[in-house]
Chain A
Amino acid sequence: MRKCIPPLLIVCLLSGFFLAYQLKIQTKNTSFNAISQRNNNLIAIIQDLEKESKNQENQIEAMRNQLNEMQNQNNQGKLQDLQIQLKKAKIDAGLTPVVGKGLFITLDDNKEGLKNAPTDDPNRYIVHSDHLLNLVNELKIGSAEAISINGQRLITTSEIRCVGSVIMVNMTRIAPPFEIQAIGSPKLMAESVTLGHLGILKTANYPISLEEHEEIIIPAYKGDLQFKYTSPQ
């Protein structure tokens, strides 16, 4: 009997250690999920980065305002011509808030439809990036001069893309309900849109409204504009 004690002691020691340790981990882990923990970290990172980009956008805006002030000073002689040209170029580029007659379109997910058919594919009831893209294209066909989606001004470099469950415009996340504002001939734009994608969405029972407004204010593009590779020919 003496001989069997040391090995058994070792095994008992190890198993006691493992048992206690595992028990400790398990009791600690009941409210802890590795994946959700990771997600929380990612969410925190995203929020941080978004805050940072917002700060920098504000900085850009402040600098632009400063620049504007400088450009509006001492307007004499030839400078005045240049300033008028600059102003026009800025409006073209979408760097100034603009106002005018136009359309106001709101579009939301078809929540009612999904509620009535819970087993159906939810993809058929939410607003996708293609919907927005098509609507914007049709607004442009209808001679829209300035367009914004949820306050994001569309300029030459603006994208409308699908990133997982959100839509990004100007590298900013936007979420339903979507408000598309467009300055231009309300009649032409409304015609182009209702004959096109808006009609399709309407028949698919998406909650949509289309209003003609006398005064639509579209904000300036807030992001950065840098041309690294492009130069005038």
Chain B
Amino acid sequence: MWFILPVLGLILGAYLGSTVTFQLPAIYLKYMSIAVLASLDSVFGGIKSIMEEKFDGTILLTGFFTNALLAALLTYLGDRLGVDLYYAAVFAFGVRLFQNLATIRHHFLINYRKKRSLRRGEKSE
């Protein structure tokens, strides 16, 4: 039951987020949504890498922070230039989210089918 801990972490984070009373200035709302997307992307990326059995904690953490930073930088630059570069980050994270989810689904399906066929094989014997 190793996955209980991360789920608990998610719940704890959500609890902290909902109890925090700190008021963010309206200008930074964009950055906040980018941060949400970056962290979600990292979560699904992590799950995917576990499924593919090539999980690396350092890669996950550095990926999370550099992605978030890069996205924030892009948003800032876009604000300065008057181009909504912010959408580029949203788009990139969105696409990756979908891809990660698709791979996770594939793996689940493949694992499930393998088990079923194994069971059938046992029965038929």
Residues of A within 8 A of B (CB): 1-25, 29, 34
Contact = CB atoms under 8 A, between A and B. Distances in A.
B83 interface: no
Chain B interface residue bracket vs A:
20 to 34
Given A11-B46, A11-B60, A11-B61, A18 B36 contact: yes
B77 interface: no
Contact of A21 (B7, B17, B40, B61): B17
7 contacts: A2-B2, A4-B55, A7-B60, A12-B6, A12-B10, A25-B24, A25-B29
Contacts of B36: 15, 18-19, 22
Given A21-B32, A22-B33, A15 B39 contact: yes
A8 B6 contact: yes
A21 B12 CA distance: 12
Given A2-B2, A11-B64, 20 more contacts: A5-B2, A7-B46, A8-B57, A9-B6, A10-B61, A12-B9, A14-B64, A15-B39, A15-B40, A15-B43, A17-B13, A17-B16, A18-B32, A18-B36, A19-B40, A20-B18, A23-B18, A25-B24, A25-B29, A34-B26
Contacts of B16: 13, 16-17, 20
Contacts of B5: 5, 8-9
B108 to A, nearest CB: 17
B70 interface: no
A29 to B, nearest CB: 8
B11 interface: yes
Contacts, number: 108
Contacts of A21: 17-18, 20, 32
A191 to B, nearest CB: 55
Nearest to B55: A4
Contacts of A14: 13, 39, 64
Contacts of B12: 13, 16
A1 B20 CA distance: 33
Nearest to B24: A25
Contacts of A7: 46, 57-58, 60-61
A15 B13 contact: yes
B35 A18 contact: yes
Interface string B29-63: 10011011001101100100010000101101100
B50 A16 contact: no
